[in-house]
Each structure stands twice: as C-alpha cells, then as structure tokens.
C-alpha cells in the first residue's frame, strides 16, 4: 500500500514493542508486592506516580518547543 513510511511514524513499532514488553511488568510487580486487599490502592498510587513523572518532562518539552523552537526538545 505505502512504498515509504513517513519519517515521524518509523519509530512507532519500536515504541509499541517497548510498551508491550514493559507495561505489564510494572503492574505485575506492584500487584505481587502488596496484600490482596490493597491491590486497587497500590495500582492507583502506581499510576498516579507514573502520571506525575510523565507530566513534568512533557511540560518542559512543551515550554522548550514554545519559547526556544521546535528542535529544542529533540
């Protein structure tokens, strides 16, 4: 169908493979480390912390993009 893949989409397969290999590992680790009655709370805390750690680099990248230029975050 497509003879050439557009440049921004070349890494999607690698990113998808990385997420597929690592996403479940963290969840399994968290669920194995806590007692059964606290699994829901532990999962919520785990995803909250992941969200906080993902938010700040994204914010910094957005500020760099806006105030310095598009190549700055890369």
Each residue of 11-62: pLDDT tens digit?
A: 788 888 888 898 889 999 999 999 999 999 999 999 999 999 999 999 999 9
Helix (H, G, I), strand (E, B) or coil at 3: coil
Number of domains in the chain: 1
Q: What angle do CA 47, 27, 15 make, to 5 degrees?
A: 80
- DSSP H helices in 1-74: 12-33, 39-67
Residue 7 belongs to some domain of the structure: no
Domain-embedded: residue 21 = yes
19 lies in a domain? yes
Could you tell me if 47 and 31 are in contact, meaning their C-beta atoms sit under 8 angstroms apart?
Answer: no
pTM given for the model: 0.68
23 phi and psi angles, rounded to 5 deg: -65, -45
1: in domain: no
In a domain, 55, yes or no: yes
Q: Which domain holds residue 20?
A: 12-67
Q: Is residue 3 part of a domain?
A: no
Question: Is residue 2 assigned to a domain?
Answer: no
């Amino acid at each position: 169908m497509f003879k050439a893949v557009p440049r921004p989409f070349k890494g999607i397969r690698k990113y998808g493979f990385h997420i597929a290999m690592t996403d479940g590992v963290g969840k399994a680790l968290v669920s194995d480390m806590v007692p059964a009655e606290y699994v829901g709370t532990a999962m919520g805390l785990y995803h909250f912390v992941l969200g906080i750690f993902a938010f700040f680099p994204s914010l910094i990248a957005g500020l760099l993009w806006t105030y310095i230029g598009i190549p700055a975050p890369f």
